[in-house]
């Protein structure tokens, strides 16, 4: 094979610089959520806007377009990874050049300020104080979506969705969500009827020391394979994973009266972190070495939290350590009781606390609302009412206030419109992937009960993590599971876990 052209090699250098800028922005975002004082929000917004402008200018430079054109003429000189990398470079370039630099800068500044205002508004249950800044974010996002839709020849919403899950569309989402919306209400009734006939769940008595909760979380992260030489765990209002592959930053939150929330939140973010740490090191500064998209990213977090950690085998492994840490004694600390606690199904107000049966309904609501916000069919001022009406329709409950309603999520204030569907698409993918991994690993159940997760991590590294963005989500899923993304494995998993045990 011939050597890569000079134009391609220059592109690799340019995208390495972009990767450095992106990494700096990711660390600043983590810093904003974890340790920055509230008074630093304006300065941080300017810093983030500055990094956005630098990245945008580097991608928008006329030389980048020339280099892409030249490199594509000699694509036969590239190996498979280089070809995939060039394809991802072009995709990134198209997204960046679709919008003017001043619009990118304005959007970055507006979202940074809105995100900080959201933290206070959520604390104060004061949606009105956020309405003006959120309206600006939505207006700027509408302009970005329109510009990208023109370039990608698609709908504005699908143009934004493509940033989070390349190649996906609202047509695909509508089909899968319609299937879930038909299946879940009846299934939910069946599960609740069954659980009402079982012994009531006994809640372990707190308080549960935060330091002990953190230590347990770290212990289980280590057992699953997280490398603390390249990452850390901290506290924030909203659990998230940030940073870069060699410096992965996780956050969680703790409740003195309920250790289960922080533990599951920590394990959820560990799934994200393991994906980041497993991406191909050789391509770490290139687009092809990045996570494929948010469907696979969310599949990894939900595989760890829902498929693995709430299962009987994993709980058999963790229970002795949890009981020892909290000096747990009595019926509340028996395995079967804690299993019922972790698998309790009940419509609730908070998405991140939702069980896996009702969680998709939370996402369907947000999907509908963000599409309406983007199209202009729903104004920001009317969002609280639309949210409450949707919650009543889909889950049969109405939030008593906006903190437990439309103020609970950070996504829209941070400009992430188009992200929400990937949570449930990720849940569907997680079921497919876990099913394939479990059937492909010898003595899988026994290994999980013994805390031997190496084979599972190796399987995920081979079939998901190490592939980066070398191919599409659909192709990765087909190779790993034998089929495209669908709802069958997810429904089979729910029926086995909640109605057959």
- Give the residue numbers marked as catalytic: 269
Residue ranges of alpha helices (H) inside 279-379 are 294-302, 312-326, 335-342, 359-375
Whether the CB-CB separation of 253 and 262 falls below 8 Å is answered with: yes
Give Cβ neighbours of residue 452 (< 8 Å, ≥ 6 apart).
none
The strand pairing partners of 247, in sequence order, are 244
My answer on whether omega of the bond before 426 falls inside 30° of 0, hence cis, is no
* Alpha carbon of residue 402 to chain centroid: 23
Q: What angle do CA 244, 246, 252 make, to 5 degrees?
A: 60
SS3 category, 408: coil
C-alpha dihedral sign at 313, 317, 318, 319: positive
Measured CA to CA, the distance from residue 329 to residue 333 in angstroms comes to: 6
Measured CA to CA, the distance from residue 183 to residue 425 in angstroms comes to: 15
Whether the CB-CB separation of 427 and 297 falls below 8 Å is answered with: no
* Alpha carbon of residue 52 to chain centroid: 22
Measured CA to CA, the distance from residue 236 to residue 238 in angstroms comes to: 5
Measured CA to CA, the distance from residue 370 to residue 137 in angstroms comes to: 12
414: enclosing H helix or E strand: none
Measured CA to CA, the distance from residue 421 to residue 419 in angstroms comes to: 6
Residue 272: name the closest of 441, 30, 95 by CA: 30
* Alpha carbon of residue 180 to chain centroid: 20
φ, ψ dihedrals at 128, nearest 5° = -60, -35
SS (HEC) of 150-166 = HHHCCCHHHHHHHHHCC
* Alpha carbon of residue 281 to chain centroid: 21
Neighbours of 203 (CB within 10 A): 12
My answer on whether omega of the bond before 207 falls inside 30° of 0, hence cis, is yes
């Amino acid at each position: 094979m011939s050597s890569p052209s000079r134009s391609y090699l220059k592109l690799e250098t340019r995208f390495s610089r972009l990767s450095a800028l992106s990494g700096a922005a990711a660390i600043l975002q983590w810093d904003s959520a974890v340790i920055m004082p509230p008074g630093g929000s304006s300065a941080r917004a300017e810093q983030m806007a500055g990094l956005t402008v630098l990245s945008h200018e580097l991608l928008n430079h006329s030389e980048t377009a020339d280099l892409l054109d030249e490199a594509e003429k000699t694509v036969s000189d590239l190996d498979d990874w280089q070809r995939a990398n060039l394809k991802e470079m072009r995709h990134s370039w198209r997204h960046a050049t679709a919008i003017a630099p001043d619009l990118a800068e304005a959007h970055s500044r507006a979202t940074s300020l809105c995100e900080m205002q959201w933290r206070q508004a959520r604390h104060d249950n004061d949606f009105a104080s956020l309405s003006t800044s959120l309206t600006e974010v939505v207006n700027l996002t509408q302009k970005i979506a329109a510009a990208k839709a023109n370039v990608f020849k698609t709908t504005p919403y699908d143009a934004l969705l493509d940033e989070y899950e390349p190649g996906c569309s609202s047509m695909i989402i509508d089909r899968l969500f319609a299937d879930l919306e038909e299946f879940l209400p009846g299934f939910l009734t069946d599960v609740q009827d069954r659980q009402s006939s079982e012994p009531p769940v006994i809640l372990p008595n707190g308080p549960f020391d935060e330091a002990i909760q953190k230590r347990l979380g770290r212990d289980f992260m280590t057992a699953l394979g997280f490398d603390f030489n390249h990452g850390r765990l901290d506290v924030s209002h909203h659990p998230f994973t940030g940073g870069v592959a060699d410096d992965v930053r996780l956050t969680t939150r703790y409740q003195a009266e309920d250790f289960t929330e922080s533990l599951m939140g920590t394990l959820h973010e560990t799934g994200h972190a393991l994906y980041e740490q497993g991406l191909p090191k050789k391509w770490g500064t290139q687009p092809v070495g990045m996570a494929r998209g948010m469907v696979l990213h969310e599949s990894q977090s939900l595989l760890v939290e829902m498929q693995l950690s709430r299962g009987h085998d994993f709980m058999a492994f963790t229970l002795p350590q949890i009981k020892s840490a909290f000096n747990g004694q009595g019926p509340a600390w028996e395995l079967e009781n804690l299993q019922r606690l972790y698998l309790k199904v009940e419509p609730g107000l908070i998405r991140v606390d939702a069980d896996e049966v009702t969680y998709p309904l939370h996402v369907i609501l947000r999907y509908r609302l963000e599409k309406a916000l983007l199209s202009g069919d729903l104004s920001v001022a009317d969002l609280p009412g639309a949210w409450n009406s949707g919650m009543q329709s889909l889950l049969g409950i109405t939030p008593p206030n906006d903190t437990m309603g439309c103020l609970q999520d950070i996504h829209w204030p941070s400009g992430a419109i188009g992200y929400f569907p990937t949570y449930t698409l990720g849940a569907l993918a997680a079921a497919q992937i876990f099913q394939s991994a479990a059937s492909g690993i010898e003595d899988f159940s026994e290994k999980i009960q013994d805390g031997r997760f190496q084979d599972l991590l190796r399987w995920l590294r081979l079939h998901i993590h190490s592939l980066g963005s070398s191919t599409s989500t659909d192709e990765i899923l087909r190779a790993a599971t034998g089929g495209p993304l669908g709802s069958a494995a997810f429904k089979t998993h729910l029926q086995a876990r909640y109605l057959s045990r």
